[in-house]
A and B are shown apart, each in its own frame.
Chain A
Amino acid sequence: NAGVMQNPRHLVRRRGQEARLRCSPVKGHSHVYWYRQLPEEGLKFMVYLQKENIIDESGMPKERFSAEFPKEGPSILRIQQVVRGDSAAYFCASSAQGRGGDGYTFGSGTRLTVV
């Protein structure tokens, strides 16, 4: 039973390019969450999705960032026109129940470097 799978593990983008980060939740989990860990900072919530719905995007920057969790396939976090300040580790988590009543399982993260 695979855990949360994130890819790629490392991603390098030049300023102005697009970054697409993928997350496949634990099999049977329908709740997905994205968190960002900036260098020397703690983990911050970005967005919470269920299949085909964004439930809470209060932590998502208003511009350039978007997320989806389609009916089929992984959840995607998309960052358009990346800037150096987007360099961070992006973690995806999933849970079987909403609001993490059963706790959260995290992936290994995608480390984005913008050059």
Chain B
Amino acid sequence: KQEVTQIPAALSVPEGENLVLNCSFTDSAIYNLQWFRQDPGKGLTSLLLIQSSQREQTSGRLNASLDKSSGRSTLYIAASQPGDSATYLCAVINSGSARQLTFGSGTQLTVLP
């Protein structure tokens, strides 16, 4: 059974810092991995999708990397801003017949002005 862990659970940084959020998964046979952002009381916003054959994806100040063999992904946020404050969720889908996303518990990020 796939398990996804995100570290740290919470992170508070001053504005302008670069930061890294970590995600690890127990079964390396994944189909893809997706990073989401969730604001309090809101839905999920997709940030980046990494296919299993890819090593990284970039969008603006965000860069996500994937190392399937070690079961790890990182989300790098450059020059953080208060508007980046949210919970960041990592989710994987396995290569087998199962179709559901398995989510981590998230990293709650606070960027202080």
Interface residues of A (CB under 8 A from B): 6, 33, 35, 41-45, 48, 55-56, 58-59, 91, 93, 98-109, 111
Contact A45 B42, beta carbon cutoff 8 Å? no
The segment from B17-25, B28-36, B61-69 that touches chain A is B28-36
Q: Give the chain A neighbours of B32 by CB distance below 8 A.
A: 100-101, 103
Taking a contact as CB atoms closer than 8 A, the residue among A102, A103, A108 that contacts B42 in the complex is A108
Contact B42 A104, beta carbon cutoff 8 Å? no
Contact A59 B100, beta carbon cutoff 8 Å? yes
Taking a contact as CB atoms closer than 8 A, the residue among B51, B99, B104, B106 that contacts A55 in the complex is B99
Interface size class of B (residues with CB under 8 A): 20 to 34
Contact A91 B101, beta carbon cutoff 8 Å? no
Query: What residue of chain A has the Cβ atom nearest to residue B93's Cβ?
Result: A100
Contact A104 B34, beta carbon cutoff 8 Å? yes
Contact B34 A48, beta carbon cutoff 8 Å? no
- CA–CA, A56 to B99, complex, Å? 8
- CA–CA, A100 to B44, complex, Å? 15
Q: Give the chain B neighbours of A104 by CB distance below 8 A.
A: 34, 46, 101
Contact A101 B31, beta carbon cutoff 8 Å? yes
